[in-house]
């Protein structure tokens, strides 16, 4: 019958199987589809697929290639070129947003892995970000609003993180292009670094716990952890009674309106107490 399965009182979709699950025999949509079994629609793999289907901004359920669990919600933002290097509409998967002090980003490893927050402040989750960035080639866009209300952005031609086995190492970050100001100017220093949280310190700094003192889960590095400075720059953390140093020039998961070293900052001492951050990815082609 038109290649459709007959399952007792049901006519299954061609994208479904007729099987017994939980002692109930009926139509169930195949992996990568959702619905009641009689009607099954393909799940979106990312926000670009949402846009290609004719939808606008919003929250959508997606299922990246290989994702082993149920579909999860993402915030999709549809843009025109807006100063980017391409001249068509594109859809971005937002994986981080900071707008106020409602949500603490000083979270443990499991929370960063699984994701947390609300519509105003959130981290999608490192495990989800891993599957997203490994199903295709993606680029990264970073938007910030500085403490004086200036909006800035940068785009990076590549972005990818590895799995939890290598502590979600940022293994790809392409060149910085089409910038407005110097947002994320030194993000390249975080490339090749493993993700750290206060309870899972992966940056090899022997003098202190970078994630604990910066109060942020992030791709911290240990380049300067043995240095001892006394300056009062906003990106310096106090790790002893007489010494200050830092583990990142970009602390985008820091404390909203926090103190020195803990606050959200970008481009080391140039953009202190950043008031808005959004990080998003989209396919590079």
- What pLDDT, on the 0 to 100 scale, is given for residue 261? 97
For the ranges 38-42, 73-77, 190-194, the maximum mean pLDDT occurs at: 190-194
Contacts of 111 (CB under 8 A, 6+ apart): 197
Q: What is the pLDDT of residues 227-262, one digit of tens each?
A: 999 999 999 999 999 999 999 999 999 999 999 999
| CA proximity to 104, closest of 279, 261, 255, 258 | 255
Buried b (16+ CB within 10 A) or exposed e, 69-95: eeebebbbbbbeeeebeeeeebbbbbb
Mean pLDDT is lowest, of 1-5, 19-23, 118-122, for: 1-5
pLDDT of residue 178: 79
Q: Which contacts (CB < 8 Å, 24+ apart) does range 65-70 have?
A: 65/131, 65/135, 66/131, 66/134, 66/135, 67/128, 67/131
Residue 186 confidence (pLDDT) above 90 = yes
Neighbouring-strand partners of residue 98:
277
CA distance 109 to 284: 29
Hey, where are the domains in the chain?
Answer: 6-42, 47-194+276-283
Task: Grade residue 80 by pLDDT with cuts at 50, 70 and 90.
Answer: low
Distance separating alpha carbons of residues 178 and 61, to the nearest angstrom:
30
Residue pair 126/112 in contact by the 8 Å Cβ criterion: yes
List residues bridging with 34 in a β-sheet: 41
pLDDT tops 70 at residue 104: yes
Q: Give the closest residue to 119 by CA, choosing from 169, 162, 59.
A: 59
Q: What is the pLDDT of residue 89?
A: 53
Nearest-angstrom CA–CA distance, 234 and 231: 9
CB 94 within 8 A of CB 77: yes
- 86 has pLDDT over 90: no
101 touches 249 (CB < 8 A) = no
Least confident span in 40-54, 68-82, 132-146: 68-82
Fold of 47-194+276-283: Gamma Fibrinogen; Chain A, domain 1 (3.90.215)
| Strand-pair partners of 142 | 154, 279
3-state helix, strand, coil in the chain (%, to 5): 10, 35, 55
Check whether 32 has a pLDDT greater than 90. no
> Can you read off the two tokens belonging to residue 160?
């990818």
If we measure between CA atoms, which residue out of 113, 99, 123 comes closest to residue 199? 113
Whole-model pTM over 0.75: yes
pLDDT of residue 82: 30
The pLDDT score that the predictor gives to residue 5 is 60
Tens-digit pLDDT profile for residues 130-172? 999 999 999 999 999 999 999 999 999 999 999 999 999 999 9
Residue 7 has pLDDT above 90, yes or no: no
């Amino acid at each position: 019958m038109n290649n459709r399965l007959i399952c007792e009182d049901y006519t299954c979709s061609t994208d479904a199987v007729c099987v017994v699950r939980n002692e109930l025999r009926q139509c169930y949509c195949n992996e990568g589809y959702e619905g009641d079994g009689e009607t099954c629609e393909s799940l979106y793999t990312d926000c670009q697929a949402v846009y290609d289907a004719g939808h606008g901004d919003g929250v959508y359920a997606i299922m990246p290639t290989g994702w082993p669990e149920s579909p999860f919600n993402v915030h999709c933002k549809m843009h025109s070129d807006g100063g980017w290097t391409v001249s068509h509409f594109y859809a971005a998967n937002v994986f981080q947003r900071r707008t106020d002090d409602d949500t603490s980003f000083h979270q443990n490893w499991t929370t960063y892995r699984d994701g947390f927050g609300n519509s105003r402040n959130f981290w999608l989750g490192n495990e989800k970000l891993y599957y997203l960035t490994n199903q295709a080639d993606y680029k990264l866009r970073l938007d910030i609003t500085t403490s004086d209300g200036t909006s800035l952005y940068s785009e990076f031609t590549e972005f990818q993180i590895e799995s939890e086995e290598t502590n979600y190492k940022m293994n790809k970050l392409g060149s910085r292009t089409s910038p407005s100001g110097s947002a994320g100017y030194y993000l390249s220093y975080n490339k090749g670094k493993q993700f750290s949280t206060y309870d899972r310190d992966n940056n090899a700094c022997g003098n202190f716990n970078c994630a604990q003192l910066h109060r942020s889960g992030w791709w911290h590095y240990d380049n300067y952890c043995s240095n001892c400075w006394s300056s009062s720059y906003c990106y310096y953390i106090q790790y002893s009674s007489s010494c200050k140093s830092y583990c990142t020039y970009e602390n985008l998961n820091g404390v909203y309106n926090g103190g020195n070293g803990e606050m959200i900052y970008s481009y080391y001492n140039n953009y202190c107490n950043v008031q808005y951050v959004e990080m998003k990815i989209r396919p590079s082609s």
